[in-house]
């Protein structure tokens, strides 16, 4: 677990950690399962910005923009880079070899740039709505953490790697199905409990707020599965870029679901 935790932090955050003593399939799979916990530093930043917005120290739109900046800095922009690369690859044609070659180049084309801009616009619009109250802020944090479930979803047993090198080749197939099921179940239970607690504090129905948090987790999970399936169909498997893109698209989908939920709870 120590090696898996070090690998997860070193891969998904900009935090400095010691290198794992060894890396094998068990450690790689453990790192993918621990990925949601690596969102904790960004989640703390989001909570702080939400509190500043609630206290009228920052306008909600400014707090939303800063939240996205904090998240990008803490992840070294790794997931955003994956989103741009996958968009460029998938729009380059239907040949998997050509798509993978475009993704490998590392530069960002028109499709990648447009995808980044549009995705971040959706994120910012949703966060502006969510940072307006405590329930919305808790839903935003739930979306952030749940989006990292995409790592384990993409590394699930039976999912192949699209190429013979890179992060995708290392982690593909390392997460047992039972472990993934247990992780998603635990995420749902924690989300419902946190939502119910926030509902009681905010004098709202704990059942409604708990259900809203569960829906956000479910949407994040469903979107990540959809991205993975599309990548496997188009590319033949997953890559590091696919994992990063799945995180960002899951986050956007979960934030949209959270925005709809908080509007109905109001």
DSSP 36: G
Q: What is the pLDDT of residue 260?
A: 96
Count how many domains the chain has.
Answer: 1
User: Does 5 fall in a domain?
Assistant: no
- pTM of the full predicted structure? 0.95
CB burial of residue 186 (10 Å; 0-12, 13-18, 19+): exposed
- Is 203 part of any domain? yes
Q: What is the mean pLDDT of each run of 10 residues along the chain (266 residues)?
A: 90 88 89 96 96 93 97 94 95 89 87 96 97 92 97 95 82 94 96 92 87 96 97 94 96 97 85
Residue 212 is assigned to a structural domain of this protein: yes
Asked if residue 94 belongs to a domain, the reply is: yes
pLDDT at residue number 62: 97
Whether 184 is covered by a domain: the verdict is yes
Q: CB neighbours of 171 closer than 8 A, spacing ≥ 6?
A: 28, 29, 31, 32, 151, 154, 155, 243
Helix, strand, coil content of the chain in percent (nearest 5): 75, 0, 20
Q: Collect all residues with Cβ–Cβ distance below 8 Å to 36 and sequence separation of at least 6.
A: 145, 146, 148, 149, 151, 183, 187
C-alpha 183 chain-centroid distance: 15
Q: Which domain holds residue 170?
A: 35-265
Secondary structure E strands in the chain: none
Asked if residue 10 is part of any domain, the answer here is no
CA distance 213 to 209: 6
In this prediction, residue 232 carries a pLDDT of 95
Q: Which residues contact 134 (CB under 8 A, 6 or more apart)?
A: 50, 54, 198, 201, 202
Domain contains 6: no
Sequence-distant (≥ 6) Cβ neighbours of residue 24 within 8 angstroms: none
Q: How far apart (Å, rounded) are the C-alpha atoms in residues 219 and 150?
A: 11
Per-residue pLDDT of 34-85, as tens digits, reads 999 999 999 999 999 999 999 999 999 999 999 999 999 999 999 999 999 9
**What's the pLDDT at 161?**
92
Q: Is 164 among the domain residues? A: yes
């Amino acid at each position: 677990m120590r090696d898996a935790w070090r690998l997860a932090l070193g891969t998904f955050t900009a935090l400095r950690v010691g290198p794992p003593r060894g890396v094998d399939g068990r450690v790689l799979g453990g790192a993918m399962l621990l990925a949601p916990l690596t969102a904790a530093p960004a989640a703390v930043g989001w909570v702080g910005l939400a509190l500043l917005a609630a206290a009228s120290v920052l306008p909600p739109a400014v707090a939303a923009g800063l939240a996205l900046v904090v998240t990008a800095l803490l992840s070294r922009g790794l997931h955003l880079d994956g989103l741009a690369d996958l968009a460029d690859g998938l729009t380059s044609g239907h040949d998997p070899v050509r798509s993978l070659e475009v993704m490998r180049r590392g530069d960002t084309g028109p499709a990648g740039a447009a995808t980044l801009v549009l995705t971040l616009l959706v994120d910012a619009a949703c966060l502006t709505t969510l940072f307006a109250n405590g329930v919305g802020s808790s839903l935003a944090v739930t979306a952030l953490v749940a989006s990292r479930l995409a790592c384990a979803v993409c590394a699930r047993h039976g999912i192949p790697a699209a190429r013979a090198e890179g992060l995708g080749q290392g982690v593909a197939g390392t997460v047992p199905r039972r472990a993934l099921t247990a992780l998603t179940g635990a995420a749902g239970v924690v989300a419902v409990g946190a939502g119910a607690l926030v509902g009681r504090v905010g004098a709202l129905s704990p059942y409604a707020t708990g259900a809203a948090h569960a829906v956000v987790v479910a949407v994040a999970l469903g979107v990540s599965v959809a991205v993975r399936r599309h990548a496997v169909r188009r590319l033949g498997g997953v890559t590091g870029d696919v994992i990063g893109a799945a995180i960002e698209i899951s986050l956007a989908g979960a934030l949209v679901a959270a925005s709809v939920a908080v509007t109905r709870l109001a």
